[in-house]
Structure 1
Amino acid sequence: MSYETDPKNPRRDLRLDLFRGLANWAIFLDHVPNNVVAWITVRNYGFSDAAELFVFVSGFTVAFVYTKVMQKKNFLAATVGIYGSVWKIYVAYILLLVFYVVTIGYVVQRYGHAHLLDEFNIRRLIADPVEFLKHGLLLQYSPLNLDVLPLYIALMAPLPPVLWLLVKSPNCTLAASVMLYVIARQLGWNLPAYPSGGWYFNPFAWQLLFVIGAWASITDRDVLERNLRSGVITSLAVAFLVFSAIVTVILQKGYAEALPEAVVLIFSPNDKTNLAPYRIAHFLALAVIVARLISKDAKALKWPILRPVMVCGQQSLEVFCTGVFLAFVAYFLVHLISDTFAFQFLISILGIALMVMVAYFRRWSKEGAAKPS
């Protein structure tokens, strides 16, 4: 697979745009509490969800882009570019945090829904804003649904030396990432959260999926794709996906007694914080099947109906922030007006439409800024 920063470049792998756009849409739907429409997302039929897809594709993308910078220019230029992206993500997170908290606070004051303060984890921030905002700036405190951006920052921050090691020795670097993942899970490593506990997305665990994505962009992709297309790997992937779907549906329907006790102990609860091995296996199985079914040159990738999704994937940061904000708005509207399926469907479609509008506007503004005056 290949990837270029220019969306019009014919060498760009449109599958990355497509699935990152779908991940943003799924994250929006999943973040609306009790949203019936969210039953179409992958988390309801397997161990992993859109977060894994988002992290993997991000690792693949940044590694491909900045190894090119490293090769064409030097390590310093790649490092400057990476930390420029980190700063952009950090600023986006702070702005989103402020708008998010102000909006929830306004809704609580205006409509008297005090329970939202607890549901979205901002009650103590309202009570002690200076202390909690200070820890928010330090990425130690996050309201509900804002955890992905701090994770992304934590994964991007050590990327320059990791990328250098991947270029020099990709397999050894991947092995080191696996070792860190195993040690972190065994010893309970995590970054501290405020006022207690650890990060919802443990970066010591989630770094493995990020590095796998980066490794996949750097390694010999012809050999990799040839191996992934083998009958044995495909059969194992299909079998695991079927098993995952059966277990997930049974557990979500509340029929745990229908499963062997050992299976329930392993898969319930589904350990997302520390990225359980079965979540990685499920995502990689999905990736194997998708890579086999949809080639880089698939004609379907040129269908106009898929363009809005791909544009959302190309403008991922802005679309993600919009989706998180709209998820709260959608939840409040459903709670205030109606919780019928028709209204939830309408709100979900309108939210995705607004995300698409933001994506197209952002692309238009970038293209306008790039044109000489």
Structure 2
Amino acid sequence: MTTPVSPDRDLRVFERDTRIDVLRALALLTIFVDHVPGTAFETLTYKNFGFSDAAEAFVLISGISVALAYGTKFRPGGRLLATLKMWRRAGVLYVAHIVTTMVVMALFCAVAVFARRPELLTLINIEPLMKNTPQVLVGIVTLGHQLGYNNILPVYAALLLMAPAFVLFVSSRPVAALVVSGTLWLVAGIWEIAPPNYPEPGFWFLNPLSWQFLFNIGLAAMLHVRRGGVIPVNRWLVGAAATYVLAALVWVHSPLWGQLTWFNLPVVIGGFDKTFLSLPRLLHILAVSYLVVALPTVSNLFRTSPDHPLAILGKRSLPVFIAGTVIAMVAQVMTLINPGGLVYDSLLISAGIAMQFALAFYLEWLSTIGGSGKARTAQTVPAPVRAPLGTAMARANR
């Protein structure tokens, strides 16, 4: 028997729910560590415990965040303004991506020149720029050429461009919207439909036509709860999710891992492809998220005060992500020039994380200058925004 999740009374107060900020912060820090490959810490991140990785968590949280930010604003009379705000945010992400790309290319080129390490120009998809500069520059501006480890912002910007249609459709016909979204995911995966690279062959590393499904699941779930809906929680669903998560943990550390696809199924169904978000990856992030939402003991681990370092880091996600990307690229160059051991890796990773926290705290402090109430207002949101995660914390029928 299913027990619906009901709002906690203490969540009706006007206070920001920091769990989304904390989860976003953990995703950002995980992405940073994963973007410095070869260190001992890379073997300890989320991707080593199942089929999905921090990118799936980031996109799911992004869908939830869009519902929180624009769900109540996307009504007759306010849709145009909400649409323009989402598109403006997409523009900010685009500019951030271009600037980050240019900084990273300049970094690798500078080290290649001044440290006499030309082999660096063959890494992270920079080599085509050296061979085919005019076309690659066009590709960078049109997002057809993306550097390795610098390909999350394009898909997020594309999703935000599509978000007004998503919000409108999900708000009016949530089930139909998810069916259409899932069909698009399936069609794009089976027939490999994705934005093309330019001038190099291939597709975007993260296909927005596939990843929109995960984004819309987060969007739909949060809009559903904000309208007073409930997330069903029972022992069978919890047991199934836990079983899948444990099976994935065993799978990725067994000889089974590494197979392109199973039973000759399309890769999007039986494989683990990241570009088209294969079904095992999608189910894994949904299972993990369900356990976080359904189990109060787990969910409360991420509840902190608004001034907690992780809450502040997650709140300043875009500048922290940009800084983390550049710092990770610097760390990559340093490990290539001067490979070190555990102590060296520890210094690099800890210094990079410390710089990201320092930036987040600086931005938080900057918002309080002048003693205005603006910063305090940003810390609080109406109860309906805080309630959604709380509504996902009912107990299963025993």
Please, what TM-score do these two structures have when normalized by structure 1? 0.88
Matches within 5 A, 1:117-156: 117-156=121-160
Matches within 5 A, 1:294-333: 294=296, 298=300, 301-302=303-304, 307-333=308-334
Give 1 or 2: higher helix fraction: 1
Structure number with higher relative contact order (C-alpha < 8 Å, ≥ 6 residues apart): 2
Matches within 5 A, 1:1-373: 10-71=14-75, 74-194=78-198, 195-220=200-225, 223-225=229-231, 227=232, 229-251=233-255, 270-294=272-296, 298=300, 301-302=303-304, 307-368=308-369, 371=372
Q: How many percent identity over aligned positions? A: 27
Change in Cα spacing, 1:231 to 1:335, as seen in structure 2 (3 Å) is same
Deviation of 1:367 (Å):
4.0
Report the aligned-residue RMSD: 2.9
Change in Cα spacing, 1:372 to 1:128, as seen in structure 2 (3 Å) is farther
Q: Structure 1 counterpart of 2:352, which letter?
A: G
Q: Bigger CA drift: 243-252 or 58-67?
A: 243-252
Give the match's secondary structure for 2:275.
coil
Change in Cα spacing, 1:261 to 1:124, as seen in structure 2 (3 Å) is closer
Change in Cα spacing, 1:130 to 1:243, as seen in structure 2 (3 Å) is same
- Equivalent-residue separation in structure 2 for 1:301 and 1:357 (angstroms): 22
Deviation of 1:265 (Å):
10
Q: Bigger CA drift: 158-167 or 357-366?
A: 357-366
| Paired residues of 1:15 and 1:296 also in contact (CA < 8 A) | no
Deviation of 1:296 (Å):
10
| Residues 25-72 of structure 1, C-alpha deviations (whole Å, 9 max, x = no match) | 000100112121022211111000000000000111012211222249
Change in Cα spacing, 1:122 to 1:56, as seen in structure 2 (3 Å) is same
Change in Cα spacing, 1:294 to 1:319, as seen in structure 2 (3 Å) is farther
Q: Bigger CA drift: 230-239 or 118-127?
A: 118-127
- Equivalent-residue separation in structure 2 for 1:18 and 1:151 (angstroms): 22
1:4 corresponds to = none
| Residues 143-181 of structure 1, C-alpha deviations (whole Å, 9 max, x = no match) | 111110110111111111221111111121111101111
Structure 2 gap ranges (5+): 6-12, 375-398
| Paired residues of 1:14 and 1:296 also in contact (CA < 8 A) | no
Deviation of 1:281 (Å):
0.6
- Equivalent-residue separation in structure 2 for 1:150 and 1:261 (angstroms): 30
Deviation of 1:368 (Å):
3.8
Structure 1 gap ranges (5+): 2-8
